[in-house]
Chain A
Amino acid sequence: MKFKKALGKLIVYIIVTAGALFSLLPFIWMVSTSFKTQREAIQIPPTWIPKVFTLDAYKMVWTKIAFPRYIYVSLIVALFTLIGVVFTALLAAYAFSWFKFKGRETIFVSLLALMMVPVPVYVIPLFILVQYLGWLDTYYALIIPWSVNIFAIFLLRQHMRSIPKDLYEAAIIDGCGRLCFLFRIILPLIKPAVVTIAIFNIIGSWNAFMWPLMVVNSDKMRPIQVGLAYFSQGESTNYPALMAASFIAIMPLVILFFIAQKQIVASYAKSGLKG
């Protein structure tokens, strides 16, 4: 009986380890190839550890292609989108959870309905609008339409509602106004929710592809994923360079993931639970 149990456990470990290896192999292959010479990269049988270790691919990606620039554009877009999303969501969620006004529930329900509309449904008219505003190929096009997020409003409202109402009376007595109350008292209490929003937004902006592909024409305004995509079309068989470029494009989020792993996984897990 004991033996059977141990055997069962062993089989479980073998299966989950095989699955984990399957999850990792494309990454190992990517990193390994990025340090190879062009010749070794296409050699059969393939090598898992480069025989000749070279940084040529990275040098090429970093100097001949505008990769530093792409990263800079993506950082700017991620930062300002995040500021916009948190700011608009904080204020709106505060109104929805701490103020009573006519039409509050109606507006809120309409927002939830609006959230259900997938982006591709309105991406073409949004493009026409941005073109009309003269924003093509600018940061405005990349940032402003995405600096409001209904899910963020929804999440912050949920958290703000659970704050006891008598805190407000206490704050008023201490001479704290309505905005002071939001930023001094509420904000520290809902910090975990703000962190969740920040995580989703940074990952979302960094990985965004379809919209930037549509609104950016010039090389110097390309965010990282669009830059990478065009690079992959131009150099479709230079595998070390392709893998080095892909590795650079995922590295910032991988680093962020290893630093804030617990919060990131928990954020995703919570977003999936009802209520």
Chain B
Amino acid sequence: MKGIKTYLWPLFLLSPALILLLVFRFFPIAYAFLLSFQDWGIGGSKGFIGLSNYKWLLQDPFFWQSFWNTINYAIIAVPLSIIVSLFIASLLNRGLKALGLYRTIYFLPVITSMVAVSIVWKWLYDPQRGVFNYFLTTMGLSPLKWLEEPRGIIELIIGKELPYLLKGPSLALVSIALMSVWKSMGYNIVIFLAGLKNIPDVYYEAAKIDGAGPWQTIKNVTLPLLSPTTFYVAIMTTIASLQIFAPIWLMTGPPPGGPLGRTSVVIYYLYQKGYEEYQVGYGTAIAFVFFLFVLAITIFQKTVLEKKVYYEV
């Protein structure tokens, strides 16, 4: 009697969550895998076509362009976000008065919607009427085209046209990265502040007794003891960066992804192919390649970077 009961109860308790997860998570993921081997467009499936979607993907220059843009975007946004947030958090951690107020202000962009933020920033970046160019011209600098600039930042810095892979991310893409650093900074600051609070004072005292200067203390005490937090922030920021979508839809173009496809990212391309053009088979193939890519990056970060992470016992 007791045996049956202890088996039925968990079943009853788990069923709402498990049924929803089976139908709306597990099934779509498995189905996506099947779809990626099919020729599926308007009017449904035209049958299995083996690896054709994946072969097409490998030859699709627009896919590679969006893939390269996504990597460039993450290379700018992730380190910049970590450095700026860690810098601000370590300043805020020096026993400032009004710490709560500062934290609140820095956190405000985190809870506001990407849509609203994109609309405001698109205007700030406007080449003719934007505030940023107004600041630049009042400071005697030449205005920039921001979101409308297809040239790479390396090209802009050295003032020469470069081959594709050396151009660097377009200023348009960098503009979006800067905005997302602004938006996500507060979240990372809060996480870093929590991590900094967790470092026991004894270590700082010991460093002081040993005669360590401020720079040595940061290098040999703070950074190693903070490394699990930094590692977490790095993984979370990377995964979020690889999935950037709303600002591309809202701020670039028309058509979105412009100028010249220099801001088209993988998720936007997936949306465009799989949803707007209804090439479901091809879209899901993009989704799987994207998933493998995210997985590979996460595993890389775990195996290579985690070795350098110092965990307190």
The answer to whether A23 and B186 have CB atoms under 8 Å apart is: yes
* Proximity bits, B113-142, A CB within 8 Å = 1, else 0: 111110111011000010100100010000
Q: Are A209 and B108 in contact (CB under 8 A)?
A: no
Residue of B25, B193, B267 near A120 (CB, 8 A) is: B267
> Chain B: which residue is nearest A249 at the CB level?
B116
Chain B residues 225 to 283 lying within 8 A of chain A, measured CB to CB, are 228-229, 232-233, 236, 239, 242-243, 245-246, 249-250, 267, 270-271, 274-275, 280, 283
Chain B residues proximal to chain A, CB less than 8 Å: 6-7, 9-10, 13-14, 16-18, 20-21, 23-29, 31-32, 35, 88, 91-92, 94, 96, 102-117, 119-121, 123-124, 129, 131, 134, 138, 182, 185-187, 190-191, 193-195, 198, 228-229, 232-233, 236, 239, 242-243, 245-246, 249-250, 267, 270-271, 274-275, 280, 283-284, 287-288, 290-291, 294, 298
Q: Which of B13, B26, B117, B283 contacts A26 (CB 8 A)?
A: B117
Q: List 8 A-B contacts (CB under 8 A).
A: A16-B92, A19-B106, A88-B20, A104-B10, A107-B18, A116-B298, A124-B283, A148-B16
Contact A145–B24 (Cβ < 8 Å)? yes
The reply to whether the CB of A51 lies closer than 8 angstroms to some CB of chain B is no
Residues of B within 8 A of A124 (CB): 32, 35, 270, 274-275, 280, 283-284, 287
Of chain A, the residue at the smallest CB distance from B104 is A261
Q: In the complex, how many residue pairs between chain A and chain B have their CB atoms under 8 Å apart?
A: 250
Contact B21 A122 (CB under 8 A): no
B187 pairs with A268, CB closer than 8 A: yes
- Chain B's closest residue to A111 (CB) is B21
Bound together, the chains give a CA A88 to CA B25 distance in angstroms of 15
Chain A residues packing against B (C-beta within 8 Å): 9, 12-13, 15-16, 19-20, 22-24, 26-27, 29-30, 42, 44-46, 84, 87-89, 91-92, 94-96, 99-102, 104, 107, 111, 114, 116-129, 144-145, 147-148, 150, 153, 178, 203, 206-207, 209-210, 213-214, 224-225, 228-229, 232, 239, 242-243, 245-247, 249-250, 253-254, 257, 261, 264-265, 268-270, 272-274
In the assembled complex, the CB of B20 is this many whole angstroms from the nearest CB of chain A, namely 4
A233 vs B152: C-alpha distance when bound (angstroms): 27
- Contact check, B294 vs A118: say whether CB atoms are below 8 A apart: yes
Residues of B within 8 A of A206 (CB): 113
Q: Which residues of A contact B117 (CB under 8 A)?
A: 26
